[in-house]
Amino acid sequence: MVVSFHRPTRVVVDLAAIKENIRAQQPYLAENQTIFAVVKANGYGHGVLAVAKAAKEAGATGFCVATLDEGIELRTAGFTEPIFILGPIDLSGLKWASKYQLSLPVTSLAYLEDLIAQAEQLSLSKDNHLLLHLAIDSGMGRIGFRENQSLQTAISLIEQQANLVWEGIFTHFATADEADRSYWQQQFSRFESVLASLPRQPKYVHVSNSATLLWQKPIGNVIRMGISMYGLNPSGEALQLPVALKPALSLVSALTQVKLVEKGEGIGYGKTYETKASEWIGTVPIGYADGFIRKFQGFSLLVDGYECEIVGRVCMDQLMIRLPKELPLGTEVVIIGKSKDKENSLQDLANYVDTIHYEIACLISARVPRVYVEES
């Protein structure tokens, strides 16, 4: 998808906020722990390369991504730090994992056996070994070993292969962002007993996302820091943050048309809105192809400190808002962020469409340019 620079809609990312958020959480780390910045999904919609650079400057010593391609993107951009791929890769991509030294998760014995068979075809040199992390399903039910016998077999299989390196072990918690700690505790205990059963500890042990770092007991030596680095509360509104974080992302646009529409006229597809009086209607160049979904109809955008309701259906590329008065073309429209004394947070948008802020940020499509500032 081509990035549309020639329209006023853009994501503005404050890189100073990302750096401050990382630094503000350093006191939560134990001495042996380091931060790996989770920059999957285009840095949670913020733009992967700029976020990775900022995170590195603030002290992150490695990165986590979801896919092999995301790892390759970081490597080819020049990042030499360790990169963990958090989801299982299609084994046809093994040669790239080896070439770019990207650490892979091993999710089951069957997957490992396939991986070994594929690796044999590659005739890897000693320098091009595969770095493997054993995924433990301690209760998330997503990826990883649930059963200790196959885990032990996997470890001995890896140790027998000259070109495989058992580099790490990890798990992921399902409820680290909840006040009720019982399920988190259950997962934690399961993982602890897995650790106790290991013949040795690999180089990396990693279990902690942002919520585990902030509210639970972060063990292991790598913290996989995602959402808190972007300045958002991992729990949404459920738990209070123990540290002040600053949201890094704003989404802005501008009025591309302003018109006075007579009472009783229809606005948008399906004529779902009819003007109640003579109304000033503004058009904004953002729509569902930008990730601003149709469910936002009725939500208010901010123009010059005014709350302006989205009237009519959100179109693919544009939407209409009701203005309090005639405003000049080009007036800034804030979708996410501050306008005078008003603010639309990612959390406000998430609440409106009944989802989480992670999803709203990730939905903003590649068509919207990402612009970087250092404001804090």
Ligand X SMILES: Cc1ncc(COP(=O)(O)O)c(C=O)c1O
Is residue 45 at the binding interface for ligand X, with CB under 6 A as the rule?
A: no
DSSP assignment of 253-296 equals: EE-SEEEEE-TT-EESGGG-EE-SSSEEEEEES--GGGT--GGG
C-alpha distances out from residue 318 to 91, 294, 343, Å: 41, 11, 22
- Helices 48-57 & 15-25 angle (0-180, nearest 10): 40
Is 358 one of the annotated active-site residues of the chain? no
Name which of 161 and 212 has its Cβ closer to ligand X. 212
Residue 172 is a binding residue for ligand X (CB under 6 A): yes
> Shortest Cβ distance from residue 100 to ligand X (Å)?
20
For residues 129 and 104, give the distance between their C-alpha atoms in angstroms, rounded to a whole number: 11
Q: Is 140 annotated for ligand binding?
A: no
* Site residues (CB under 6 A) for ligand X, limited to 227-256: 227-228, 234
Q: How many Å from the N-terminal Cα to the C-terminal Cα in the chain?
A: 32
Q: Which of 13, 17, 35, 38 binds ligand X (CB under 6 A)?
A: 38
Residue 372 annotated as catalytic: no
> Please, what is the minimum distance in Å from the beta carbon of residue 86 to ligand X?
4
Q: Is 347 left (phi over 0), alpha (psi -120 to 50) or beta?
A: alpha
Q: Quick check: 103 binds ligand X (CB under 6 A)?
A: no
Instruction: List the one residue from 210, 216, 221, 233 that touches ligand X (CB under 6 A).
Output: 210
Q: Using the rule CB under 6 A, is 88 a contact of ligand X?
A: no
Q: Which is nearer to ligand X, 173 or 273 (CB)?
A: 173
At 9, list the tokens: 């809609």
209 lies in the site for ligand X, by CB under 6 A:
yes
7 appears as a binding residue in the annotation: no
Q: Which of 259, 269, 271, 340 is catalytic?
A: 269
DSSP string over 182-196: HHHHHHHHHHHHHHH
* 8 A C-beta contact, residue 84 and residue 97: no
Report, as residue numbers or ranges, the catalytic residues.
40, 269
Q: Kindly list the residues in this chain that would bind ligand X in the complex (CB under 6 A).
A: 38, 86, 172, 209-211, 224-228, 234
- Which residues are annotated as part of the binding site for substrate? 142, 316
